[in-house]
Amino acid sequence: MMDDPDVLRLTLYVAGRTPRAERALVNLRRIVEHELHMPFELDIIDVLERPDLAEDALILATPTLVKESPLPGRRLIGDLSDTHRVMAGLHLPATTPSEPAGGSDEVRT
């Protein structure tokens, strides 16, 4: 399904099992289970174990969520705690806006 334009392809880059990485993972799982209404693929890459992949993807900060498809690609940096900002940053419709739960999500193109 790697070439299917209807599949949302996400990669989460983390640096070990830090509290911030764990929060990002928990928040992302909540979002994909409760907010996404489309098929998706999720890869989680620990940059401490696979620095080559982080270098290839030009990852400079963690946690970073990369939307690879459908285009346009997007990058979000932070713990993904604000569901509305994550959905907007990925250019996906949110079912209901969520209140920010703290943390920060920087959207970069």
pLDDT in tens, the chain (109 residues): 456 778 899 999 999 999 999 999 999 999 988 888 888 999 999 999 999 999 999 999 999 999 998 888 999 999 999 999 999 988 887 554 444 444 443 444 2
Q: Is this model's pTM higher than 0.85 or not?
A: no
DSSP 100: P
Q: Which CATH architecture has domain 8-95?
A: 3-Layer(aba) Sandwich (3.40)
pLDDT score recorded for residue 91: 86
CA gap 98, 78 in Å, rounded: 16
